[in-house]
C-alpha cells in the first residue's frame, strides 16, 4: 500500500507537472512556426516509442511517447528534434514545399520560432501568478522555521524546525521578512519570542549572536563586512497567501515582478556556482524535481503545487535561453550570427556545434543525476 501511495504522490504529479510544462514550451514553438508558414510534422510529448497519437487536418502528428522526460516539435525538413540539420528528404521536396521548411525561413523568423518556447514558459508562469494574486492574494513566506543552524542562537535557545514565530519583543510577526526585521531591531542582543509549536504556545527568550556578514548578497566575497545580530534559522520552503484584493492590472504587475525576481535569483545562484561561491551539489535533475513534486503533493496544497509549477516554468524557459547548442539559446545565437553576417552557417559547422552542445548537456545530466542519487541516499539512509 505504501508503494502505491508513493507512486500516486510522487510519480503521477511529476508526470503531470512535466507534461504541462513541456506542452506549453513546445506549443510556443508550434504556434509561431505555423504563423510563419512552416509545416510542423510532429508534436511529441516524450521520446521513444509512440503510445498514442493522431493526425490533425494540417498533417501534424500529435503524439505521446514512452519516455516522459521532454518533448519536441519536428518541422518539415528537420533531421532531428532540435532543428539542427536538414534531413535527406529535403532533396525530394518541391519548390513550394521547400518554402515551408524551417531552414528556408529568414533568420528573423527562425529566431522568433526558436525563442517562442522559452517565452511561452515565461508567459505561463506570469499567468499562474496573476491568477493566484487576483483570485487568492499575494504570496508571502510564513515566519516558520525550516532549519535551525548549528551553533546559532536559535539552537541554543531550543527553537525547533516547524516552530511558527508569532511575536518578537511584543511585535506581531506575519511573515519571515517581519521576523528578520524585528531581529535586526532587537537591542541588548535579546529577543523574546512567542512561538507556536503544534498545539502549544511557548515563550522563548533568545540571546542573539552577532556575526560578521557581507553587506551585499550579490557579491558576498568582495563586499565589505558588517556586524549583524542573527537568530540562526532559515525559512521553510513554502508559501502562504496574504488575502488582499488586487485589481487585474495590479495582479499582472505583481506577477511580472515575481517572475523577474525569480529569474534574477536563479541567475545569481548559477553565477555563484560557476565562480565557486556556492556548492555545486545544489544542481539537481529530474529525480530531485520528482522528489520535490511528491513532497509538495503529499504535504501541501494545490496553490503550492501551482507556485512550484510556475517556478519550474521560469527555470525551464531560462535554462533553454542559455547559449548552448542544442538548447533554444544556442539556436538563437546561430540565428543572430546569420542575421549579422547575412549568410547561413554551413551544415558541418552547425553539426559540430550541436555535437559539442549535446556533450555539454549530457555531462550536466550525468552530474545532476549523480547529485540527485546522493541526495536521495542521504534522505533515505542517513
- For residue 87, what is its C-alpha cell? 534531413
Exposure string over 218-231, b if 16+ CB within 10 A, otherwise e = eeeeeeeeeeebbb
The C-alpha cell that represents 267 in the structure block = 541567475
Angle, alpha carbons 72-74-80 (nearest 5°): 90
Classify residue 196 by burial, with Cβ atoms within 10 Å: 0-12, 13-18, 19+.
Answer: middle
Cell of 114: 526558436
Tell me the CA distances in angstroms from 372 to 38, 177, 203, one per residue in order.
Answer: 39, 31, 39
**C-alpha span between 328 and 337 (Å, rounded):** 14
Dig out the grid coordinates for 51 from the structure: 503510445
Question: Positive or negative, the Cα torsion across 55, 25, 374, 303?
Answer: negative
Helix ranges restricted to H, 218-327: 248-274, 286-299, 302-320
| CB 321, CB 333: distance < 8 Å | no
The CB density around residue 11, as the number of other CB atoms within 10 Å, is 14
What is the 3-state secondary structure of 342-380? CCCCCHHHHHHHHHHHHHHHHHHHHHHHHHHHHHHHHHH
Cβ atoms of 272 and 214 closer than 8 Å: no
Residues noted as catalytic:
26
H or E element in which residue 230 lies? strand 225-230
Cell numbers of 278, please?
Answer: 556556492
CB 163 within 8 A of CB 135: no
Rounded Cα distance between 310 and 351, Å, is 34
Q: How many helices (H) and strands (E) does the chain have?
A: 11, 12
Amino acid at each position: 500500500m505504501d508503494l502505491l501511495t508513493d507512486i500516486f504522490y510522487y510519480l503521477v504529479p511529476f508526470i503531470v507537472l512535466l507534461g504541462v510544462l513541456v506542452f506549453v514550451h513546445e506549443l510556443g514553438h508550434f504556434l509561431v512556426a505555423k504563423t510563419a508558414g512552416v509545416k510542423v510534422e510532429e508534436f511529441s510529448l516524450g521520446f521513444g516509442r509512440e503510445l498514442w497519437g493522431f493526425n490533425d487536418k494540417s498533417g501534424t502528428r500529435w503524439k505521446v511517447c514512452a519516455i516522459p522526460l521532454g518533448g519536441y516539435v519536428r518541422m518539415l525538413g528537420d533531421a532531428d528534434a532540435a532543428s539542427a540539420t536538414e534531413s535527406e528528404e529535403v532533396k525530394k521536396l518541391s519548390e513550394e514545399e521547400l518554402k515551408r521548411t524551417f531552414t528556408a525561413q529568414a533568420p528573423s523568423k527562425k529566431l522568433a520560432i526558436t525563442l517562442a518556447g522559452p517565452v511561452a514558459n515565461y508567459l505561463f508562469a506570469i499567468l499562474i501568478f496573476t491568477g493566484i494574486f487576483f483570485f487568492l492574494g499575494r504570496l508571502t513566506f510564513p515566519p516558520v522555521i525550516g532549519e535551525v543552524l548549528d551553533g546559532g542562537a536559535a539552537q541554543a535557545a531550543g527553537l525547533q524546525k516547524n516552530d511558527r514565530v508569532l511575536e518578537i519583543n511584543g511585535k506581531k510577526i506575519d511573515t519571515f521578512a517581519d521576523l528578520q526585521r524585528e531581529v535586526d531591531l532587537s537591542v541588548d542582543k535579546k529577543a523574546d519570542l512567542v512561538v507556536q509549536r503544534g498545539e502549544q504556545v511557548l515563550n522563548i527568550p533568545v540571546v542573539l549572536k552577532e556575526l560578521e556578514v557581507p553587506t551585499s548578497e550579490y557579491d558576498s566575497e568582495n563586499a565589505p563586512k558588517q556586524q549583524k545580530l542573527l537568530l540562526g534559522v532559515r525559512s521553510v520552503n513554502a508559501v502562504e497567501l496574504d488575502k488582499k484584493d488586487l485589481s487585474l492590472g495590479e495582479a499582472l504587475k505583481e506577477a511580472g515582478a515575481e517572475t523577474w525576481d525569480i529569474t534574477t535569483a536563479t541567475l545569481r545562484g548559477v553565477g555563484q556556482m560557476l565562480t565557486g561561491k556556492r556548492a555545486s551539489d545544489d544542481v539537481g535533475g529530474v529525480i530531485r524535481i520528482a522528489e520535490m513534486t511528491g513532497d509538495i503533493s503529499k504535504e501541501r496544497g494545490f496553490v503550492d503545487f501551482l507556485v512550484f509549477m510556475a517556478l519550474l516554468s521560469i527555470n525551464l524557459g531560462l535554462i533553454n535561453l542559455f547559449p548552448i547548442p542544442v538548447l533554444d539559446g544556442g539556436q538563437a545565437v546561430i540565428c543572430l550570427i546569420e542575421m549579422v553576417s547575412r549568410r547561413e552557417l554551413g551544415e558541418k559547422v552547425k553539426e559540430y556545434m550541436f555535437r559539442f552542445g549535446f556533450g555539454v548537456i549530457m555531462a550536466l545530466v550525468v552530474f545532476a543525476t549523480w547529485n540527485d542519487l546522493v541526495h536521495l541516499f542521504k534522505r533515505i539512509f542517513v
